[in-house]
Structure 1
Amino acid sequence: MKTLCPKLFFLFYTSLLFAQKETLISGKIIDSKSQSPLISVVVTIQNTNQMQLSAADGKFQFKTNLQGDQLVLFHNQGYKDKLIAVQIQENKLIDLGIIVLEEEDEVNQQGAVISILDDDLDENNGGSESTSGLLQASKDAFQQAAAFNWGQSRFRVRGLDSQYAQLLINGLTMNKAYDGRPQWGDWGGLNDVLRNQEIAIGSSPSDYAFGGILGTQHLSTQASTYKKGTRIAFSGTNTNYQGRAMVTYASGMNEKGWAFVVSAGKRYANEGYFEGTNYDANSIFTSVEKKISPRNSINFTAFYTPNSRGKNSPNTDEVVSLTSEKYNSYWGFQNGKQRNSRIKYIEEPVFMLNDYFKINATTQLNLGAFYQFGKISNSNIDYQHANSPDPSYYRKMPSYFSSLYAKDEGEFSGAFTPDLANAERSKTLFLSQPQINWAAMYQANQNPIVDANGKITEFEPAQSKYILYEDRTDDKNLAFSALLNTELTEDIRLNAGASFNKLHSHNYQNVLDLLGGLYFEDVDVFYKGDQAESDLNNPNRQVKVGDTYGYNFNLMSAKLEGFTQFQFRYKKVDFYLAQEYSSSTYQREGLYKNGIYPTNSFGESPTLHFENFGFKGGLTWKLSGKQLLLFNGSHASKAPNLKAVFPNSRLNNSIVDGIESENNSSLDASYVYRSPKLKMRFTGYFSQIKNATETSFFYAEGIFDNGAGNNSTNAFVSQTLTHLDKKNWGTELSFEYQINPTLKTIVAAAFGEYIYASNPNVTITNDAKASVENTNPVFNFGTAALKNYHQAGTPQQAYSLGLEYRNPKYWWLSTNVNYLAKNYIDISPIARTSNFFINPASGFPFPEATEERGRELLKQEELTPLLLLNLVGGKSWRIFKKNLNLFCSINNLLDTSFKTGGYEQARNANFRQRNQDITSGTPNFGNKYFYGYGRTYFVSLSINF
């Protein structure tokens, strides 16, 4: 007993000393509106590795041995982050009391922001395709501005296309193999259920994937992570749709280990902001989770979002001056109703199965399976032995008669006389019928029946000269993934993942409507004999509704990839190292034996195989509890997309000669300051893309000589750019200052320069030059002088200043003014080759082609800078224990008219043609532009219970 007592005393004293070194921080976290406790809120001491989760009653107890002034950070999905300053002293318990978290307004803002992620930027215009590459907003003020304020002008974060960001849902990659981009329409309208997301910008580390140089975005649909309750919302707007209704219910995890989430919605418009743009979109979502054991649960997710939208046309300045910025040439009246000829339809249901397995306290494994099938189609009008139905077709415009196309005496002779009388006549005709004439097409597809007196008594269906068809893609995509996260030691964490993705893509042309006719001939009227046949295995076909014609082929791809990432976390410094390997195979299978390419179209192409590697690393230096320095860098090779590999995939099995993987590099450095009043980030970045390949299609005039059997210098061609390099560098600023408890100011800025860094090689495929001897008519036009031209499709400078007021009685109002500049037109590469100065009729340079005039003609157009003013506000009520929320926004309050982008028409492919067209003052083939929305509104009323 004498021996035991001193030992017990020693243990008690030691534990007392240890306890004195630790401080207990406690509190309770609740929702600001419902006052209900919040579970699983992440509570950390900022810039440390110490973390705790709130319990089911919202309470938390946090032990720490840190001393001095610290910041406690509260983070929960769907809520605003909260920082509370504390002073930690020995032997002092800190009770923070009730901590109130406010919900984010992100769901409403996502509905209010102009939807341009899937807009009409897929035109084959001779330049590179461009879609918005911005990620959804995070809690960073810069990302909020990029998504919600600058999205109106198609701003792209760091000037990068969305193919350079990796998007995952439940650990499964959603980027398409065809062009590398996510198909945003596959989950359109599911804002409520896709809020659980984690974003890594640039090369910064992600727990879910190696990622791209733009970043990584991961969305989770695990049913048990959703806040229990029901949300019903109704919205009205005047953007791409007019009305929206949504309902979402989440059960939470019940006593039997089940949790489920369901959501359904509809968006619709008889006509959107632009003329003739109808919209119809439905969405349904379900996620069901079964907890098999305390450490294992299985989750099934399915969503189906069929949607269709009428496209709007890009227009020249001439067309807009005669009509308006809302003018759309793709539609017309049929029997008193609007009918758009170009409808994009997406119907691709998605099914996912995930197994979340907690192996032990430090290791988690997520296994996933994914299957997607369905169709994407784009409708258009096809015609034979008839005039173009497009009311703004260049031959119907006044400029056709007042420019070189009116009376050019001898091909490219330079002798030109304007025809002002016909120019005025064409203007009158255009204004009298500025839309598609559906009735005229129906009449053209019928033969008149004449009685004995020579009078037309009625019409009978005949061979269709005009039909409505669709370019159709039917994909079947199967994928598997495995993701392991484990704490190797207290300071070292390992993320490792592997995935396999297999795609079978059927691509074909399909007849939708014979427009009153009997049949349509499956031939190309620009060719004769066997060359006119789409399929020599089935010649002289007459197709009807539902028949495939024109082209018919499969694309197959398979991709295996894996990554490992080690994260090291210490008191003052965190750093990480990651590596990636991928193997990709591509193949085309022609289902038609094309008459132009009889030996190179039917059957399977050679299989292409690409192996790629990537490495990245970064460092976080914790200057203090408020300040961080971050450094990230990566270098990776990237397989070309399917689209780039087969430049003429609709007609043959040809592969781009010598095609190689891209090499992409990025660097960024950031200074971050976060305190309860001030949050700031300043970032500098540099990105480089080397050896890219891009393919486009267009009709060019004046690029080929008059060879035997070809009586024109014009041709519909496929253009491929290889060895294309790009450089993007710039800075980003995010600044938030809480002036007082109710008033906050926000500043965001982006300053960048995005240029082409090489002179790529240009090859042109001209089907008209194909023959028995020449089965792959590819012509090398040499290099295009693109170096130091600006990349198009996004403002390269953007600035935002905002002020936000939040009243304690749950109403708020914010306004922001935005300035966007340095947005450039997409240029035509073929016009920047040496052939531009050569007369194709003679083979000699144009005598009037001077270097100075050439620079003037080829100068890249910069769009006018714009100023946009936005106003956003909301109000919440607590009624019968239910939350009623009103959200309102007005974008572009001053109703500013502006162009969001555009492209040079590649049709003017030689010096004389372009010079005469521009000199006329009203160019027939001037640049085509996309216009942004004027003043728009969004109003949403929702109830949560």
Structure 2
Amino acid sequence: MPFKYVFLSIFLTFCIHANPSAQSLRGQVLDNHRLTPVQNANIREGASMSPIQVDSGGYFEIDASAMPPVLHLTIGSPAHKTLEIDVFKEDWGIGIQTFYLLTVGELEEMVHESLQLDDDSDGDLSGDVYSLLASSTNPLMRAVGFEFSAFRTKLRGLGNAFDQLGFNGFLLNDLDYGRIPFSYFSGLSVITRASRQYQSYRDDDSDFGSAGVAQWITADPSLYRSEFSVNAALSNRNYEHRFGLHYASGIHKNGAAWTAGVSRRWSGESFVPGAFYDAWGAYLGYAKPLGAGHLVKAMFVYAPVLRGKSSPATQEVFDLSGDLYYNAYWGYQLGKKRNSREVQTSAPLATFNLDLQISNNARLELGVMGTYAHRSDGQLDWNNAPDPRPDYYQKLPSAIEDITTAERVRQRWTSDPSVSQIDWVGLYNANYLNVRTIQNVGGDSTLSLTGTQAVYFISQRISDTREFEHFGKLKWQNKRHRLQMLYRLEWSHSDNHLRLDDLLGADFALDVEDFIDDPAKQHPDISQMNRVVREGDQFGYHYLVRSGRYSLYPAYQYLGRHLDVSLGGYWQYNEFQREGKLQNAIFPTSFGKSSTEGSSGLGAKVLATWKINGRNYLQANMALQQLPNRFEQTFVNPEWRGDVFTNLAKTGIALGDLSYYYRSPGLKWQLSAFAVAIDDQTVSKNFYLDDQLEQGVSSELADGSLVNAFYTGLDERHYGIEGSIELKLNSRLRVQAAGILGDYFYNSRPTLWLFDKFSTSSTQHTIYQRNYYVHGTAQQALSLGLRIELPGGGFATLTGNYLNKHFIELNPLRRIPEAVGELDPDSELFSNIIAQEELPQALYLNLFAIKYFRWLGQSFSASLSVNNLLDRRGLKSGGFEQYRFDYETRDPRTFPSKYYHFQGINYYLSLTARF
């Protein structure tokens, strides 16, 4: 049977005058590309735990008299991505509806399901045309998530601050910073298989949405058929090995189901020298019906990760080392590579969901979630000692005036790891030789201590966060009208401090801040002057943050025969309070509880889809949103003070897009035009401010200092068109393409506020940033691929990708009058200071293949992903201007830009067995 759409289709034959309550509803489940029956499909309606039986031909029947007016079907299989779809019972008719499932291999490529009419005609205008909201796919998400991901390309140029991540109805973006905790599910692809992704406030009943991409994961033990699977993989990317086990009980006679699994991904060293990776994962889930349409579900997820970081570098350092993946964070210790920046994350997550069928038309969903997130960021620190970083600019040949000495250093970079990498032996020796006697230990004049004091040590920035979330969602539907009210209550409590991890052979360290010149003010805690700290002790700073986020989301949806309309509202209130645990001598607000700061946000959206016929759709989408402020935008310097930034404004977003979709058996294409305005952003930064800039303003700032900085009034504009096309050449071969033509730029001259971290000094600058490009994403991107179906099951794709207009991050203090002084605006130096660097164009090939087969009566699948097939090395995947600048010589080459490089040819080979 020919089918109309490629990704997911649904075949409707209407019998307008039939009485649906007096008939069976018949359907069939097929593999999307092979068109073969999915014999082991698992079908469930609504919250029922009773599976709908599927025969060997993929056929099933449902008793219409026992079904509600709108059927919510969940269809999946061990080898396929789960499909969720609402179908009107009155429109089912006497024909057979065909449901097409994507294979798990396509999930690995981040392809998302699509549900289309399987019809040879242009669409019968006498019946329903199924909603594009439930049936369309966005190939651009696949291209951005898989093909362009190494270059950090973002849909519509919007950063992660505008994205969402949800799990079983819970919003996971953290309360203080809005960050997305992807590490929660590290390596647990089995439970993230059933996920929905929406772009730019598209409809989803889990939340109002966001300007960027919202991904909502549904992990339900009842969706997995009874099976035991084993997965093993080899790779030369961030990790080398992967091993995973998965078990699902299937649905027992009492309706209960449970699932469990473990995995590990690890590498002693990745393709970046000195970087390592060790990630574990485990999950346990249970679901059971309570009768009368009620359902209870519980999930536990735990995925701790330990990794060694990699560094960016300047072009000079890449040239000196001869390594495009040079990493300054490691050095040899006792003959082994040791990374100075280890990051550890762990966040056990537990969720509990209760679904209650209140009536035939109304349903109440409730949920509670708890998590304890730990993050520690290690770094090499020093006190009153030379900078130990091997790529510190004063150690490089370009900074050495004597030609002979510079050449000697250049030669040693190629032959001596103690020069080109961290000299761990030298650091230990410096500590061994630093014998000191400390008087007045802890502020006690009678106490003294003699021993080796650490001038080099490893510290850990610790953040321990407990979060609790509760949501309630009331859904009511009467034929074509849907109403929903969602509330969400979130609380978090975070403990933030420094911990001394390794003294590098010394006996102790002294808890003082050497950026502070006055010895009387160097102590983070004046109640313990000259405090001696040892391994495992807290030091430096210590503060708590208590946060709350409260949200309401009312929504209405009308699903007509040829017009769908969705309306949504949004209200959110954020509140947070800092409590300092140490009293320093500089800021009176450092100790104790601050005032509770609050901020509210509002939003509204409308989405209309004109379903012209079964092949043509026109969709208009508009949204307005005002975001409440977050903790990191509100407090000036929470590590040392409890003061609030008073020049804070709320970020406003206005978004609109117009899209046209065409679907036919052999051709599918879509084209969208979009415009996004983001105004009054407040963005916080921390960096080292060079001396000379603030002469005459403040002695503390003029001498060079660590600063806390805030952009205010930062406006962006994101305009563009995006589209995709898929042409079916024959039953096995098709061409796929996706492209973005964007124009993302800054539309204001923001103010940059500078606050000295260790004094009350502050200043501000107007940043001449209007019309500079938004950094961190390619603004032009094209993906063109050829896909072939393999005999016996499976497919292969070969994709060429092109990226252009990719700009690096700006140093704002090079776009102020003080940076150019009296220079001639037509001079080359003037241009070099203010020009924005564009990365070279990128052109590369990716290959993906997956094959299904049976051996010894069991099911297997093998997949291979090869990126950068032509091994094009030297492509820069990202970069930034250093926030340092020489205001005396005004030469930007003193502190040149730093870059990351695209990995050469790399692979991921995976084998899965199902029993």
> Quick check: TM above 0.5?
yes
2:343–2:376 contact (8 Å) kept in structure 1: yes
The residue number in structure 2 matching 1:437 is 423
- How far 1:166 sits from its partner (Å)? 2.2
How many angstroms apart in 2 are the aligned matches of 1:138 and 1:572?
A: 15
Residue matched to 2:662: 673
The reply on whether 1:872 has 2:848 as its aligned counterpart is yes
**SS of alignment partner, residue 388 of structure 2:** coil
Aligned to 2:356: 357
| CA pair 19-382 structure 1, distance change in 2 beyond 3 A | closer
- Kept in 2, the 8 Å contact 1:234–1:941? The answer is yes
Counterpart for residue 42 of structure 2: 39
Identify which of 229, 245, 260 aligns with 1:247: 245
Q: Is it true that 1:885 corresponds to 2:861 in the alignment?
A: yes
SS state of the match for residue 277, structure 1? Answer: coil
Larger mean Cα displacement after TM superposition, 316-325 or 895-904: 895-904
SS of match in other structure, 1:142: helix
Residue matched to 2:103:
103
Partner of 2:800: 817
CA shift, 1:374, in A, is 3.1
Which of 611, 631, 643 in structure 2 is aligned with 1:642? Answer: 631
Looking at structure 2, the residues matched to 848 and 102 of structure 1 have their Cα atoms a distance apart, in angstroms, of 61
Please show how residues 903-942 of structure 1 align to structure 2 within 5 Å. 903-908=880-885, 910=887, 912-915=888-891, 918=892, 923-942=893-912
* Alignment correspondent of 1:452: none
The CA deviation at 1:802 is: 0.4
Q: Which amino acid aligns with 2:105?
A: D
Query: Residue 782 of structure 2 corresponds to which residue in structure 1?
Result: 799
> Hey, what's the Cα distance between the residues in 2 that align with 1:711 and 1:658?
20
- The 3-state SS of whatever aligns with 2:687 is strand
Q: 1:810 to 1:709 in 2, by over 3 A?
A: closer
3-state SS in 1 of match to 2:710: strand
Residue identity matched to 2:847: L
Give the C-alpha shift of residue 836 in structure 1. Answer: 2.2
Q: Distance in 2 between matches of 1:886 and 1:711?
A: 59
Q: Which residue of 1 aligns with 2:337?
A: 338
Q: CA deviation at 1:209?
A: 0.7
| Shift of residue 613, structure 1, vs aligned partner | 0.9
Alignment partners' CA distance in 2, 1:716 and 1:152: 32
Q: Residues 881 and 27 (structure 1 numbering): CA distance in 2 closer, same or farther, change over 3 Å?
A: farther
The amino acid across from 2:42 in the alignment is I
Summarize the alignment of residues 838-849 of structure 1 with structure 2, pairs less than 5 Å apart: 845-846=821-822
Alignment of 1:313-324 (within 5 A): 313-323=311-321, 324=323
CA distance in 2 between counterparts of 1:61 and 1:631 reads 37
> CA shift at 1:273, angstroms?
1.1
Which residue is 2:278 aligned to?
Answer: 280
CA displacement, residues 161-201 of structure 1 (integer Å, 9 cap, x when unaligned): 12212221111100012221211112111111111112221
Distance 2:792 2:528 in 1: 73
SS at match of 2:889: helix
- 1: distance between equivalents of 2:16 and 2:623? 49
The one of 489, 495, 501 equivalent to 2:490 is 501
1:276–1:339 CA contact under 8 A, matched in 2: yes
Which secondary structure does the structure 2 equivalent of 1:319 belong to?
helix
In 2, the alpha carbon distance for the partners of 1:27 and 1:504 equals 50
Change in 2 beyond 3 A, CA 1:200/1:614: same
Q: 1:848-895 CA distances to partner (integer Å, 9 max, x unpaired)?
A: 677774343210000001001011112211224421111011100111
Matches within 5 A, 1:447-458: 447=433
From 428, 447, 459, give the equivalent of 2:411. Answer: 428
1:901 matched residue in structure 2: 878
Which runs of no fewer than 5 residues in structure 1 stay unpaired?
A: 1-14, 44-52, 65-72, 83-89, 112-136, 402-417, 450-459, 771-775, 838-844
2-side partners of 1:448 and 1:695: how far apart?
38
Range moving further from structure 2, 278-287 or 868-877 = 868-877
Alignment of 1:727-746 (within 5 A): 727-746=717-736
Distance 1:711 1:560 in 2: 39
What does the per-residue CA deviation read over 1:734-768, in whole Å, with 9 as the maximum and x for residues that have no partner? 21122111111101101111111111111111245
Amino acid at match of 1:778: S
The letter for the 2-side match of 1:505 is S
**Partner deviation per Cα, 1:179-228 (whole Å, 9 max, x = no partner):** 21211112111111111112221121111110111143211112112343
Q: % of aligned pairs identical?
A: 27
Cα drift, residue 420 of structure 1: 2.1
CA distance in 2, matches of 1:166, 1:102: 24
Does the 8 A contact of 2:568 with 2:604 survive in 1? yes
Q: Within 2, Cα distance between the matches of 1:437 and 1:514?
A: 15
Which residue of the partner structure matches residue 659 of structure 1?
A: 648
Question: Which of the residues 713, 727, 751 maps onto 1:761?
Answer: 751
Shift in CA distance, 808/820, structure 1 to aligned 2, threshold 3 Å: same
Tell me what 2:295 maps to.
Answer: 297
Tell me, in whole angstroms, the C-alpha distance in 2 between the residues paired with 1:104 and 1:537: 60
Could you say what secondary structure the match of 1:537 adopts? helix
Q: Closer, same or farther in 2 for the Cα pair 1:101/1:551, shift >3 Å?
A: closer
8 Å CA contact 1:34–1:883 kept in 2: the answer is no
| Cα distance between partner residues in 2 of 1:569 and 1:909 | 62
In 1: Cα distance, 2:535 partner to 2:178 partner: 32
Residue equivalent to 2:132: none
Q: Give the distance between the partners of 1:202 and 1:711, measured in 2 at CA.
A: 42
SS at match of 1:194: coil
1:204 is matched with 202
* Residue correspondence of structure 1 range 555-570 to structure 2 within 5 A: 555-570=545-560
Q: Deviations over 1:26-56 (max 9, x none)?
A: 443256789524232899xxxxxxxxx9655
1:110-149 matched pairs, under 5 angstroms: 139-149=137-147
Structure 1 Cα separation of the partners of residues 462 and 486 of structure 2:
34
Partner residue in 1 for 2:28:
28
Aligned residue for 1:785, secondary structure, equals coil
- Note the alpha carbon deviations across 1:817-836, whole angstroms, 9 max, x for none: 00011100100112212332
Listed as ranges, the matches of 1:159-174 within 5 Å are: 159-174=157-172
Label 1:569 to 1:511 Cα distance change in 2 as closer, same or farther (>3 A): same
SS in 1 for 2:882: coil
Matched, 1:475 2:468: no
Whether the 8 Å CA contact 1:79–1:103 is kept in 2: the answer is: yes
Contact (CA 8 Å) 1:107, 1:192: kept in 2 or not?
A: no
Contact 1:700 1:909 in 2 (8 A): no
Query: What's the CA shift string for 1:132-165, capped at 9, x where partnerless?
Result: xxxxx99532221111111121111111112212
Deviations 1:496-526 (A, max 9, x none): 2101111111111110011110000100123
Which amino acid counterpart does residue 226 of structure 1 have in structure 2? Answer: Y
Structure 1 residue aligned with 2:532, among 536, 542, 547? 542
Residue 59 (structure 1) aligned with residue 45 (structure 2): no
Provide closer, same or farther for how the CA distance between residues 232 and 40 of structure 1 changes in structure 2, counting only shifts above 3 A.
Answer: same
Report the alpha carbon displacement of residue 362 of structure 1 after superposing the two structures with TM: 2.4
The one-character-per-residue Cα deviations of 1:621-651 (angstroms, maximum 9, x if unpaired) are 0110111111111101101222121232211
Name the CA shift for 1:688/1:23 in 2 (closer, same or farther; >3 Å): farther
TM-score, normalised with respect to structure 1: 0.83
Q: Offset at 1:385?
A: 2.2
TM-score, normalised by the number of residues in structure 2: 0.86
Q: Which residue of 2 aligns with 1:125?
A: none
Contact 1:875–1:887 (8 Å) recurs in 2: yes
Greater relative contact order (CA < 8 Å, ≥ 6 in sequence): 1
Pairing 1:620–2:618 present: no
> Which residue matches 1:407?
none
Residue 593 of structure 2 aligns to which amino acid in structure 1? E
Please state how far the C-alpha of 1:373 moved relative to its aligned partner.
0.8
Name the larger-Rg structure. 1
Q: Which residue of 2 aligns with 1:724?
A: 714
Q: Which runs of 5+ in 2 are unaligned?
A: 1-14, 65-72, 84-90, 112-134, 436-449
Give the equivalent residue in structure 2 for 1:860. 836
In structure 2, do the counterparts of structure 1 residues 295 and 909 end up closer, same or farther at CA, with 3 Å as the change threshold?
farther
Q: Is the 8 A contact 1:758 1:786 kept in 2?
A: yes
Structure 2 vs 1, CA of residues 904 and 99 (structure 1 numbering), >3 Å: closer, same or farther?
closer
Distance in 1 between residues matched to 2:101 and 2:701, nearest whole Å: 73
